[in-house]
Amino acid sequence: MITLLLRRLVGLVVSLLVVSVLIFTVMDLLPGDPASIMLGTSASPDTLAALQRELGLDRPLPERYLSWLGGVLTGDLGQSYTYGVPVAGLIAERLTLTLPLAAMAIAIALSVAIPLGVEAARRHGGVWDFMIGLFSYLGIALPAFWFGLLLILLFSVRLGWMPAGGFSGWQEGFAAGMQALLLPAIALALPQAAVLTRVTRTAVLDNIGEDFVRTARAKGLGEGAAIWRHAFPAALVPITTMLGLQFSFLVAGAVLVENVFNLPGLGRLALQSLSQRDVIVMQDVVLFFAALVITVNVLVDLVHLVVDPRLRREAG
Amino acid sequence: MRAGLRRPILAAGLLLTAGLVSLAVLSLFWTPRPPGQMQIAMRLKPPFEQGLLGTDQFGRDVASMLMSGAWNSLSTAMAAVALGASLGCALGLGAAVWRGWAQALVLRGCDIVFAVPPILSAMMLAAFLGPGRGTAIIAIATFMVPVFARLTLGGARQIWSRPYVEAAIGMGRPPWRITFLHVLPNIADQIIVQATIQLGLAILTEAGLSFLGLGMAPPAPTWGRMLADAQTFLGPAPWLAILPGLAILLSVLGFSLLGDGLRDLLDPRAS
């Protein structure tokens, strides 16, 4: 078990290193360099050379990569060109919005998807199953950012119940912060809920016919209890797997939804850094998101190994 | 009951996608008005009052912009899926031939590419190459490569272990011939189904990219940018925010229904 965990963690570190090398190399291969992008076309060659020296762009790629990596390991991601502050602090500050937003979206998605998926499996073939199936088709096709616009249109413009966007920080109080994040989280959650509903339904259906669920029924457990206490826990592995796989889409959705609701999160930081040509910030944010997606998927994998003895035997 | 519900999925998918494709193709020859034509006097008119679907903040005809946007969206999505699918399938088929480290490399590479959502890779590309259709196509295609690589690798490995393929190996047929003669034709169904579903996702992603200004450059109308522009006029002109989103929703829905319908048609066991 310990060697298995260690092996996964080594795999994680290797993946993270490879993704960082890859992003570094791609950015290096693309025409133009950060200094000329930041300064625009009107900069004098002297200014350009000075900034290139300051950013260390006159050094060869491997050297730059290693010094960046050394920085990351000591918590130094470099300086933002436009804000003039360390990028690490900038990312940490924006995370106080993006992390709660993502967590809220996942919580909402799960609390919608699990009851719907289980219900659809219980009554499979019936009208409810059909309606829930329709919901997941529509939800998967629904652009989260458009749903966000519709929510603003209804709750802010028409009814005036909610702010149309913006976030004044957690110092305004927990409730105010949560209120500002509620509509964006719902917009972000709906497509996820649709996918997870489908997975829950299939996974529960797969388990309903299994011997251990039949035994539970034979013991005199009601149909509902047999499903919730026996078929559903066994379905948690595919559900969390999908949650991990969907994390990449959640990140993409967050970038869009933050822009719809004008929220100063990490996704908005990435887009702002693009329009301000702050390439270093953008590179760090992209790497951070990629690292997050990889880490979440390895964590999901590890949790499965811990909870499901069958998988442990296969992997061992 | 379920069997009876099966074919409607295919029918609904066909209907929606056929509608989208014909409107998109029609827009190349005819739109009610030129999609870029501005008429400031007619600005922000609701549907039916001016044109079928109203006008935007510059008095442009929304129906014409949506039609033209359908072509822009569909052609970008098709190019991205064609690029991503051919690269992904080539990698998957190759990995199935070489196995060993090549297979491990492809699979690990898939995990890593999959960790960078197209929106982020589009931003990276846009910083250096500038935003535009090419950037959007490359970003979307990159994200599709792992999907098709994993699918073909999985499918191809099954075919490679079939008796008739083992017989072909025994006869000394070269791997590339076996790949094209036996492996590819047997997994073509799965690839077509997946490509159909991915077309929908590509349309969804393209909309997101052009919403953020990372898609086709103006004045070419795109559904995503129509939504971005509509944000300013949510109160006075809600139709500007509703109609393009509906177009995206129906298109993506069409392709995902068509994909599922095709899967049931081609491989009844899978359902």
Question: Residues of B numbered 36-95 whose beta carbons fall under 8 angstroms of chain A's beta carbons: which are they?
Answer: none
Backbone angles phi, psi at A281, to 5 degrees: -60, -45
A290, B238: Cβ pair inside 8 Å?
A: no
Residue burial A95-124, b: 16+ Cβ < 10 Å; e: rest:
bbbbebbbebbbebbbebbbebbbbbbbeb
Residues of B in contact with A271 (CB under 8 A): 123, 212
Q: Is B110 exposed, middle or buried (0-12, 13-18, 19+ CB in 10 A)?
A: buried
Average pLDDT, chain A: 84
pLDDT digits (tens, 9 = 90+) for A1-21: 778 778 878 888 888 888 888
Mutate to test the interface with B, among A136, A149, A256 (most CBs of B within 10 A): A149
pLDDT digits (tens, 9 = 90+) for A194-210: 999 999 998 888 888 77
A137, B227: Cβ pair inside 8 Å?
A: no
CA A133 to chain centre: 25
Whether residue B119 is contained in a domain is answered as yes
B243 falls in which pLDDT band (50, 70, 90)?
very high
Whether residue B210 is contained in a domain is answered as yes
> Across residues B104-123, what is the average pLDDT?
84
CA distance B252 to B255: 5
Residue A101 has pLDDT above 80, yes or no: yes
Q: List alpha helices for chain A, DSSP H.
A: 2-29, 34-39, 45-55, 61-73, 87-122, 127-141, 144-151, 174-208, 211-218, 223-226, 232-245, 247-260, 266-275, 279-307, 309-315
Tell which residue, B89, B192, B196, B214, has the closest CA to residue B139. Answer: B214
Task: Report the range out of A304-313, B20-29, B168-177 with the highest average pLDDT.
Answer: B20-29
B200, A141: Cβ pair inside 8 Å?
A: yes
The residue written with tokens 């990889």 in the block is A294
pLDDT of residue B5: 54
CA distance B258 to A184: 30
Q: Is B5 on the interface with A (CB under 8 A)?
A: yes
Mutate to test the interface with A, among B73, B107, B112, B260 (most CBs of A within 10 A): B112
Please list, in sequence order, all residues whose beta carbon lies within 8 angstroms of the beta carbon of residue A32, skipping any fewer than 6 positions away. Answer: B128
Nearest Cβ partner of B119 from A30, A31, A255?
Answer: A255
Range scoring the smallest mean pLDDT among A30-39, A160-169, A242-251? A30-39
CA distance A152 to A22: 39
Query: For residue B55, what are the β-bridge partners?
Result: B61
Residue B212 has pLDDT above 70, yes or no: yes
Residue B258 maps to which CATH number? 1.10.3720.10
Residue B73 has pLDDT above 80, yes or no: yes
pLDDT digits (tens, 9 = 90+) for B82-103: 999 999 999 999 999 888 888 8
Mutate to test the interface with B, among A57, A145, A190 (most CBs of B within 10 A): A145
Higher pLDDT pick, A24 / B65: B65
CA distance B5 to A216: 32
Biggest CA-to-CA distance, chain A: 84
pLDDT digits (tens, 9 = 90+) for A17-29: 888 888 888 777 7
Smallest CA–CA separation between B253 and chain A, in Å?
A: 5
Is the sign of the CA dihedral A200, B88, B202, B254 positive or negative?
Answer: negative
Q: Where are the domains of chain A?
A: 32-76, 87-315
pLDDT digits (tens, 9 = 90+) for A28-68: 777 667 777 777 777 778 877 887 777 777 778 888 888 88
A117 falls in which pLDDT band (50, 70, 90)?
very high
Residues of A in contact with B200 (CB under 8 A): 141
Chain B residue at shortest CA distance from A267: B120
Higher pLDDT pick, A74 / B244: B244
Size of interface A-B (CB pairs under 8 A): 141
A145 falls in which pLDDT band (50, 70, 90)?
very high
pLDDT of residue A314: 61
Average pLDDT, chain B: 87
Range scoring the smallest mean pLDDT among A32-46, A155-169, A184-198? A32-46
CA distance A236 to A245: 14
Q: State the total domains in chain B.
A: 1
For A125, the 3-state DSSP assignment is coil
- The CATH number, out of the four listed (3.30.2130.10, 1.10.3720.10, 3.20.20.70, 2.60.120.260), of the domain defined by the range A87-315: 1.10.3720.10
A138, B252: Cβ pair inside 8 Å?
A: no
Alpha-carbon distances, residue A53 vs A34, A60, B242 (angstroms): 12, 12, 50
Smallest CA–CA separation between A31 and chain B, in Å?
A: 6
> Across residues A292-311, what is the average pLDDT?
80
B253, A149: Cβ pair inside 8 Å?
A: no
Smallest CA–CA separation between B104 and chain A, in Å?
A: 12
Q: Is B12 on the interface with A (CB under 8 A)?
A: no
pLDDT digits (tens, 9 = 90+) for A79-96: 787 777 888 888 998 998
Smallest CA–CA separation between B208 and chain A, in Å?
A: 7
B117, A251: Cβ pair inside 8 Å?
A: yes
Question: Residues of B numbered 148-207 whose beta carbons fall under 8 angstroms of chain A's beta carbons: which are they?
Answer: 200, 204-205, 207
Higher pLDDT pick, B4 / B201: B201
Angle (deg, nearest 10), helices A87-122 and A279-307: 40
Nearest Cβ partner of B249 from A30, A142, A289?
Answer: A142
For A86, the 3-state DSSP assignment is strand
Q: Tokens standing for B123?
A: 């931003």
CB-CB contact of B95 with B148 (8 Å)? no
A311 falls in which pLDDT band (50, 70, 90)?
low
Residue B4 has pLDDT above 50, yes or no: no
What is the full DSSP assignment across A230-293?
Answer: IIHHHHHHHHHHHHHHTHHHHHHHHHHHHHHTT--SHHHHHHHHHHTT-HHHHHHHHHHHHHHH
Nearest Cβ partner of A248 from B117, B238, B248?
Answer: B117
> Across residues A116-136, what is the average pLDDT?
89
pLDDT of residue B1: 44
Q: Is B232 on the interface with A (CB under 8 A)?
A: no
Residue B270 has pLDDT above 60, yes or no: no
The residue segments making up the domain with residue B132 are: 2-26+60-266
The residue written with tokens 């260390």 in the block is A56
What is the complex's ipTM, to 2 decimals? 0.89
> Across residues B221-228, what is the average pLDDT?
92
CB-CB contact of A269 with A281 (8 Å)? yes
Alpha-carbon distances, residue A232 vs A118, A238, A253, B56 (angstroms): 8, 11, 28, 50
> Across residues A285-311, what is the average pLDDT?
82
